[in-house]
């Protein structure tokens, strides 16, 4: 499926590029209304006068942290202000308190007192979308999209795999989806190393576990930070990072959680290879190659270890990791350079597992059964998938947050060198939503510019070479399956995390791995695997 994605997503980007060229020709901030077309549409039959958008609507959505840093509501975002001008629709945004999003969502759904639009990560909802449709909490959108959303309809027609991803097992489309429009947007996390340390010690970039051990040992012993103290921390381990990108465990072809091996669901921690992974990590920990305090290191302390010129390698993102750490460390360590490293295999030429995000992960805007005018709301949401809407929500206001240069929407200094000294992500949030999510097709030209450093772009390209075919698609458990297995997986994850730390730190001998597996099995992991296998089979049978 992943190989097919590369072909499919090329189509949507090609469409977007054409849209940009068309929109860029006028060079005006306000969209040009052509006869026979609706602003933002890709050539529908109705004229702009024929389109009836809602006068007003209520919209429940979590407040992204970058937006929340400078604003109280999405209504303050320039793209939404402009959308109100273009459609006449006034939106009352409802944001749950930060940190309480999941609880507030569950309470809202249970109460039945619903806003018109609910934007959420629906894959994490306690009940699947099919159940919520049957319970009249949200509505089926298939026919509404076909009749009232020409822009999204075209995206789905051009990309059949998108339609499969956003459709439930019972054939329902339940959201106007957030879609990743290019392969470049799907790989955003991986291993990084101090390139200046490698150069100082005349070491090559490691590509196997053995080479990683050689590099980490040199970081420990050869004083790469040059302070004549043995204070270097070769590698920072994190269970969260392990779950995100499968670093090191992926060398054995397994994941730290569920994965899809040729259509068969497996749970990595109970596979024999997981014992070998734990034994390797335990050896590295004992030998001082892994941060001895990793289990009690919070984000602030981890940052300090990087910027104090002590940490040699970790897993991170191109933006909040490579770029941020470089900016923080350069003033005191001018030679500081973080670069993306290949995911290591057991031997040269292996293709280990790496981080990969499916183009649809369950994020999108659903319309509640309480909404009085769903047809108009679908038309309003569909604006974002058209030419002008795509530009508006990926780049903001032409002439303010971006300018067209040879058909390319280039961010201005308001974004890239903000006069109020806002970080790029916060500056972006004042104008558009592309840096997080929402009912749009995310444009790769957003991330091309967000990655201001060549190290960021090169890291993403390096990580993209890992194996992605075992990534779980967005399967949907039934309400019964979810009810049966949610408590099982809560218990399993708590136990798994505790035991991973014990095995690595040596308080639990690796010889007890079989007991570890037996305990997980006694908790009901086979039932959870069975439920996910049924869900994967249903997913594969979708049309």
User: Does pLDDT of 23 surpass 90?
Assistant: no
> Is residue 448 classed as helix, strand or coil in its secondary structure?
helix
Average pLDDT on 26-42 reads 34
| Backbone φ and ψ of 505, nearest 5° | -80, -5
* Residue (of 275, 439, 270) closest to 367 by Cα position: 439
Q: Are 466 and 351 in contact (CB under 8 A)?
A: yes
pLDDT at position 494, please?
Answer: 98
Is 218's pLDDT higher than 60? yes
- Mean pLDDT (whole number) for 169-175: 95
Confidence of residue 51 (pLDDT cuts 50, 70, 90): confident
**Residue 399 in this model has a pLDDT that exceeds 90:** yes
pLDDT at 31: 35
C-beta separation of 302 from 313 below 8 A: no
Contact 376, 366 (CB under 8 A): no
Say whether pLDDT at 292 is over 90.
Answer: yes
Q: Does 15 score more than 70 pLDDT?
A: no
**Phi, psi angle pair for 179, to nearest 5°:** -125, 135
When pLDDT is cut at 50, 70 and 90, the band that residue 517 belongs to is very high
From the number of C-beta atoms within 10 Å of its C-beta (0-12, 13-18, 19+), residue 381 rates as: buried
**pLDDT, tens digit, 9 for 90 and up, residues 400-416:** 999 999 999 999 999 99
418 pLDDT more than 90 = yes
DSSP string, 455-502: HHHHHHHHHTTSB-TTPPP-----HHHHHHHHHHHHHHHHHHHHHHHH
Of the pLDDT bands very low, low, confident and very high (cuts 50, 70, 90), residue 480 is confident
Residue 430: name the closest of 97, 120, 69 by CA. Answer: 69
- Identify the band that residue 14 occupies on the pLDDT scale cut at 50, 70 and 90: very low
Q: Tell me: pLDDT of 20 over 50.
A: no
> pLDDT value at position 367?
98
pLDDT at res. 483: 86
Q: State the SS3 of 62-125.
A: CCCHHHHCCCCCHHHCHHHHHHHHHHCCEEEEECCCCCCHHHHHHHHHHHCCCCCEEEEEHHHC
Taking a C-beta distance cutoff of 8 angstroms, is the pair 431, 66 a contact? Answer: no
- What is the tens place of the pLDDT at every residue in 221-232? 999 999 999 999
The CB density around residue 171, as the number of other CB atoms within 10 Å, is 11
Sign of the torsion angle spanned by Cα atoms 157, 163, 166, 168: positive
State the pLDDT at residue 12. 38
Cβ–Cβ under 8 Å, residues 367 and 374:
yes
**pLDDT at position 275, please?**
98
Least confident of 13-22, 344-353, 513-522: 13-22
Provide φ and ψ at 307, rounded to 5°: -75, -20
Q: For residue 439, what are the contacts with CB-CB under 8 A and spacing of at least 6? A: 119, 175, 176, 177, 178, 364, 365, 381, 384, 385
User: Angle, to 10 degrees, between the axis of helix 78-87 and the axis of helix 387-395?
Assistant: 160
Q: How far apart are the first and last CA of the chain?
A: 14
Is 45's pLDDT higher than 80?
Answer: no
pLDDT tens-place string over residues 328-372: 999 999 999 999 999 999 999 999 999 999 999 999 999 999 999
The per-residue pLDDT for range 423-479, each reduced to its tens digit, is 999 999 999 999 999 999 999 999 999 999 999 999 999 999 999 999 999 898 888
Average pLDDT, the chain: 91
Tokens of 224: 């790469």
DSSP string, 416-431: HT-TT---HHHHHHTT
Please compute the mean of the pLDDT values over residues 386-399 and round it to a whole number: 98
Report the pLDDT value the prediction gives residue 41, as an integer from 0 to 100.
Answer: 43
Residue 49 in this model has a pLDDT that exceeds 70: no
Q: Enter the tokens of residue 494.
A: 């708590």
pTM, entire model? 0.85
How do residues 72-101 score in pLDDT, each as one tens digit? 999 999 999 999 999 999 999 999 999 999
Nearest partner of 464 among 150, 45, 75, 3, judged by Cα: 3
- Whether residue 155 is predicted with pLDDT greater than 90 in this model: the reply is yes
Partners of 398 in the β-ladder = 402
pLDDT of residue 471: 96
Sign of CA dihedral 22, 23, 26, 32: positive
CA distance 30 to 400: 12
Whole-number pLDDT of residue 125 = 86
């Amino acid at each position: 499926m992943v190989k097919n994605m590369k072909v499919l997503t090329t189509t949507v980007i090609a469409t977007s590029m054409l849209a940009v060229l068309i929109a860029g020709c006028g060079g005006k901030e306000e969209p040009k209304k052509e006869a026979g077309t609706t602003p933002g549409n890709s050539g529908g039959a109705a004229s702009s006068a024929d389109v009836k958008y809602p006068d007003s609507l209520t919209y429940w959505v979590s407040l992204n942290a970058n937006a929340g840093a400078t604003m109280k509501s999405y209504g303050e975002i320039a793209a939404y202000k402009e959308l109100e001008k273009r459609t006449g629709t006034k939106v009352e945004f409802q944001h749950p308190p930060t940190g309480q999003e999941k609880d507030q969502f569950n309470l809202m759904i249970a109460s039945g007192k619903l806003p018109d639009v609910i934007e959420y990560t629906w894959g994490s909802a306690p009940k699947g979308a099919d159940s919520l449709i049957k319970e009249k909490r949200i509505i089926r959108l298939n026919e509404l999209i076909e009749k009232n959303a020409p822009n999204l309809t075209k995206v789905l027609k051009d990309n059949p795999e998108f339609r499969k991803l956003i459709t439930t097992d019972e054939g329902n489309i339940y959201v106007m989806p957030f879609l990743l429009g290019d392969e470049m947007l799907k790989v955003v996390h991986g291993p990084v190393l101090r390139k200046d340390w490698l150069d100082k010690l005349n070491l090559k970039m490691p590509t196997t576990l053995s080479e990683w051990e050689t590099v980490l040992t040199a970081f420990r012993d050869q004083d790469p930070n040059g302070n004549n103290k043995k204070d270097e921390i070769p590698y920072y381990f994190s269970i969260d990072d392990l779950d995100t990108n499968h670093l090191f465990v992926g060398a054995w072809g397994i994941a730290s959680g569920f994965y899809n091996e040729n259509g068969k669901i497996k749970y990595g921690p109970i596979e024999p290879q997981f014992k070998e992974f734990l034994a390797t990590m335990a050896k590295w920990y004992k030998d001082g190659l892994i941060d001895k305090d990793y289990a009690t290191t919070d984000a602030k302390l981890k940052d300090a270890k990087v910027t104090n010129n002590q940490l040699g390698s970790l897993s991170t993102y191109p933006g909040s990791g490579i770029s941020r750490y470089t900016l923080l460390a350069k003033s005191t360590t001018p030679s500081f350079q973080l670069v993306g490293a290949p995911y290591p295999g057991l031997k040269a030429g292996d293709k280990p597992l790496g981080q990969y995000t499916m183009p649809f992960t369950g994020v999108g805007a659903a319309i509640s059964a309480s909404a009085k005018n769903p047809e108009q709301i679908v038309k309003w949401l569909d604006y974002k998938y058209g030419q002008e809407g795509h530009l508006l929500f990926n780049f903001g206001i032409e002439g303010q947050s971006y300018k067209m240069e040879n058909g390319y929407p280039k961010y201005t200094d308001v974004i890239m060198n903000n006069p109020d000294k806002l970080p790029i992500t916060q500056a972006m949030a004042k104008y558009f939503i592309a840096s997080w999510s929402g009912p749009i097709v995310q444009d790769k030209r957003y991330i091309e510019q967000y990655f201001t450093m060549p190290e960021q772009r090169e890291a993403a390209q390096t990580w993209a070479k890992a194996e992605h075919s075992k990534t779980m698609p967005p399967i949907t458990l039934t309400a019964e399956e979810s009810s049966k297995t949610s408590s099982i997986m809560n218990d399993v994850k708590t136990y798994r995390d505790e035991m991973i730390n014990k095995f690595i730190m040596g308080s639990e001998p690796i010889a007890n791995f079989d007991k570890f597996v037996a305990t997980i099995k006694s908790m009901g992991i086979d039932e959870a695997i069975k439920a996910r296998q049924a869900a994967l089979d249903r997913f594969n049978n979708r049309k």
